[in-house]
């Protein structure tokens, strides 16, 4: 669960893994407060306050980087995409028409990630990310024993490797749905495709992941 999911207004994940399809009034009010906060910051930025923009960056950079890394599968490329996304955001902030700033920013970041992937496809440099790098590992949880930690590491490694082999569109849809908790319609709006296409990408992507992970399925079962 990404830490920023709290920013969505305390939306509790469902059993299926972080889906925020049902929000109670309290959560809705909290989300409205966040939207109001973001809108206020945007207005300050539009009046020339750069610090206000950097406050928005501080609020969303962790979320945006984690999301982009999952899509691009390369930290440096993801960092470039996020930097580009924030600059694009600053450049086009006047076009923000309210609503969820987080969703708007996500859409910009996904576009930047798509650009990066297109460039990489033309000029493949390092197709294999450093899966064993510590930066990819979950924070150490002292309550977990060493066996559990090893299991989690292995699980994340095989999932990350499998994610590499599904299509970018499927990966984006699965990350947005399963990890970030957006619903179908939000994903359709962000990616510019129909609702049916979003569902198809998610379900076919999961089937592809399952086939890829079949030899290691024991690692995924708790």
Partner 1 sequence: MDRHQPALPDGTDHDHHDRLLIARSLDDGLDAVEMSQAERLIQSCPGCASLVGDLRSVSTAVAHMPAARRTRDFRITAAQAAAARGSALTRLLRGARLLPGLDPPRRQIMQPLAGAAIAIGLVLVVIGSGWPSTGPAGPGGSAGTAATHEGPVTAAGATSDTPESAPPPRTSQGGAVEVGDDASPVATIGPDVAPFASDSQAEPDRSAESEDPISEGSGPSPTPSPRATEAVDPTATLPPNDTAALPSQRPTPAPVTTIDDASAWPGGDTGVAIVGLVLAGVGVLLLLLRPIARRLEGR
Contact with partner 1 (CB under 8 A) among 76, 144, 148, 154: 76
CA distance 207 to 222: 20
Contact with partner 1 (CB under 8 A) among 86, 101, 106, 188: 86
CB burial class (10 A; 0-12, 13-18, 19+) of residue 135? exposed
Q: Which region, judged by CB under 8 A, interacts with partner 1, from 23-31, 32-40, 56-64, 120-128?
A: 56-64
Six-digit token string for 143 = 């309550």
The least CB distance from residue 136 to partner 1, in Å, is 6
Spell out the alpha helix ranges (H) of 47-167.
Answer: 50-72, 75-91, 101-122, 146-163
Contact with partner 1 (CB under 8 A) among 27, 37, 44, 54: 54
Does 98 sit near partner 1 (CB under 8 A)? no
The answer for 55, left when phi > 0, alpha when psi is -120 to 50, beta otherwise, is alpha
CA distance 204 to 113: 22
Residue in the block written with tokens 């929000």: 23
**Contact residues for partner 1 (CB under 8 A)?**
1-3, 13, 16-18, 50, 53-54, 57-58, 61-62, 64-66, 69-70, 75-76, 78-79, 82-83, 86-88, 90-92, 95, 107-108, 110-111, 114-115, 118, 135-139, 155-156, 159-160, 163, 174-175, 178-179, 184, 192, 199, 202-204, 206-207, 209-210, 213-214, 217, 220-221
């Amino acid at each position: 669960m990404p830490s920023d999911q709290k920013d969505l207004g305390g939306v509790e994940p469902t059993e299926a893994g972080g889906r925020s399809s049902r929000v109670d009034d309290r959560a809705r009010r909290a989300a409205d407060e966040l939207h109001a906060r973001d809108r206020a910051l945007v207005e300050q930025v539009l009046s020339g306050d750069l610090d206000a923009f950097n406050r928005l960056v501080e609020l969303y950079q962790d979320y945006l980087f984690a999301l982009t890394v999952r899509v691009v599968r390369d930290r440096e490329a993801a960092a470039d995409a996020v930097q580009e996304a924030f600059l694009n955001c600053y450049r086009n902030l006047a076009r923000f028409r309210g609503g969820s700033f987080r969703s708007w920013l996500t859409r910009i970041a996904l576009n930047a990630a798509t650009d990066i992937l297109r460039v990489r496809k033309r000029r493949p440099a390092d197709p294999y990310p450093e899966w064993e790098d510590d930066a990819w590992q979950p924070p150490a949880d002292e309550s977990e024993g060493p066996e559990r930690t090893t299991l989690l590491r292995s699980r994340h490694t095989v999932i990350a490797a499998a994610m590499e082999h599904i299509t970018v569109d499927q990966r984006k849809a699965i990350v947005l749905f399963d990890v970030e908790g957006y619903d179908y319609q939000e994903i359709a709006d962000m990616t510019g495709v129909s609702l049916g296409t979003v569902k198809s990408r998610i379900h076919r992507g999961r089937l592809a992941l399952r086939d890829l992970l079949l030899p290691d399925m024991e690692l995924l079962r708790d």
